Chains A and B, each alone.
Chain A
Amino acid sequence: MKLSLRKIHAVLQLKIKLMLSNMSILFTPIFAIGFVIIMGNLMPDVDVGDAGVPFSTSGFLLSFGLIFNIAIGGISMSSSPIAEEKEKHTLRVLMTSSVKGGEYFIGSMLPLLVILVTTNILLIPASGVSFGEIPVLTFLIITTLSSLISILIGYIIGVYAKNQAQATLVSTPILIVLTSTPVLKMFNDDLAEILNYTYGGVLANLAETLSASSEYQWNITDTSVLFAWLLVTLGLFIYVYKKNGLDH
């Protein structure tokens, strides 16, 4: 399938115009930053060793903001517009206007990815963590890959769902599992072991080290898990897209 850069650019511009004309899609990233700032002012500033356990308030807030932004923001921001376009029959118009599925997905993905990555970076100062305290490159790689996986999961839901209500219904349990991964890992070791093989688990591992003010160590398991999830979600997305198409 030969994709046209001009059409990808046109879809990208269209999506940016739509975001600017209706800012509600930016609610989750803005809420994540706002929540982290407000909680940062409300929570006592606990640092390593103060309570006998390694803990950092700012690290905890950053991890919360990351999971909120990547899991909830990434999935809802990618699934909802597709479902909305299907429901309002605007997607069919695009598809019959010579735009291919690949051009639509790439054009729609780019602004989302930029918003998610920018929010991930802004969460660092918002939570009070200094850039010197965290491995920035590792942070960027893991959060960007996780954001990409969330967008792909959102696309799968969007392609599968017939309307926005169905998209919300399908994505809610996935969002609950993803956002509660750090808590579930704390309560049950067996479950923690299983969750280590999810991209949410890798994100939780990174967040855990940030909240404990320890340094994250790259390991073969986390790397493999992230790439495996990326490949599986991409494969599943292509399968669902080929099976359902965009206009069903």
Chain B
Amino acid sequence: MTLMTLENVMKQENNRTILKDIHLIIKEKSQIGIKMTNKESIVFFKLLTGELTPTSGIIEKETSRILTEFTEDGLYEDLTVSSYLHAFKKIADFEKPLEEFIGIFSLSDVWNTKISRLSFDQKKRVSLFRMSLFSPELLLIQSPLSHSTIEGTELYIKAIEYLQSNDVAVLFTSHFLEELLLLSHDIYRYNQFTGLEKTDLAQENTAMPADKTETGMMPNHVYKVSSKSADKTIFFSPDEIDFIESINSVSTLRIGEEYFPTDLTMNELEDKLTNFGFFRCHRSYLVNLQRVSELVSYSKNSYTLILKGNSNVKLPISRNRLEAMKALIEF
């Protein structure tokens, strides 16, 4: 069952485009992660709840049982976990005894503790427990694990799995792809130039069906750069990558503000990516020429490439490589 459909949604505030080219379908039980900034996330959630109206595009809602949690949301710190949740139980008109669910949210040992004494992890689970009382169909949660410990993350994921087993769809946003990898099955990245793009993921334990590999039908001219993170491998299309940098002899993909290490060497990457518009501007840098916006000369022999939308990133280019680049892009 589809809970929400967004078609070509765009939102401007004060003549500034906050979101654009948003195409998304949220289905029942889905666990979606979207990498976006805090501001984009707040506007996006407000669009989904109907608090804001999109500048253009269509948002079709099949549910009104949507709850949001922003990073800055607070709890009544002077109350105990029990009295806080009982207050919201009454607001939500939740009928079952709360004690049945304490274990699911791993709050048994702090049930009668003041919220002010809880850790960040525990507060996040209290918040999740509170939202679950309202029998939501869709939860919108902003970066819940940004300050979590490993144990806290495990317990939070356990609670999320319980909600998912009760047909709740959850949409997370975060600035960190690693966080979304832990929480979501489908991951998207929001790019201010290209809009919302789905990121390809492969689970390490996902086996390829035998009959498909044996048929010998292999597509041509497809290449993705992979990066391993936790138990998942993320695949990036060449056009998503801004540039590749060699840091301590490790080739590192730079995508927006994030870094992803790969196992390939710079030379291997250069061989693979030259056909996709990448150029070795420096021994340690391989740049996606589609992302280059400016060439600046600070002195006679010193040139710098500046990338689109990120003027802070300056990549060096040597004089002889400049000639090669000129020949390549004909300027």
Contacts and interface: CB of A to CB of B under 8 A. Distances in A.
Interface stretch (B87-95, B148-156, B193-201): B87-95
A28 B142 CA distance: 39
Contacts of B114: 21
B120 interface: no
Contacts of B93: 6
Contact of B87 (A6, A17, A89): A17
Interface residues of B, number: 22
Nearest to A94: B91
Contacts of A89: 70, 72-74
A-side interface size class:
20 to 34
Interface stretch (A96-104, A121-129, A198-206, A220-228): A96-104
B83 interface: yes
Interface string B75-88: 11111000100011
B232 interface: no
Contacts of A11: 91
A18 interface: yes
Given A97-B130, A97-B134, A10 B75 contact: no
Interface string B260-274: 000000000000000
Interface string B124-151: 0000001000100000000000000000
Interface residues of A: mostly helix, strand, loop or mixed? helix
A13 interface: yes
A94 B92 CA distance: 11
A93 interface: yes
B83 A93 contact: no
A73 B79 CA distance: 23
Contacts of B74: 88-90, 93
Interface in A1-59: 6-7, 9-11, 13-14, 17-18, 21-22
Given A97-B67, A97-B91, 4 more contacts: A6-B91, A9-B90, A13-B87, A18-B78
A-B complex: 10 closest residue pairs judged by Cβ atoms = A10-B90, A21-B78, A88-B74, A89-B74, A14-B87, A10-B91, A90-B74, A22-B78, A89-B72, A89-B73
Interface of B: 49, 67-68, 70, 72-79, 83, 87-88, 90-93, 114, 130, 134
Interface of A: 6-7, 9-11, 13-14, 17-18, 21-22, 88-90, 92-94, 96-99
10 contacts: A6-B90, A6-B91, A10-B91, A18-B78, A21-B114, A93-B75, A96-B68, A97-B67, A98-B91, A98-B92
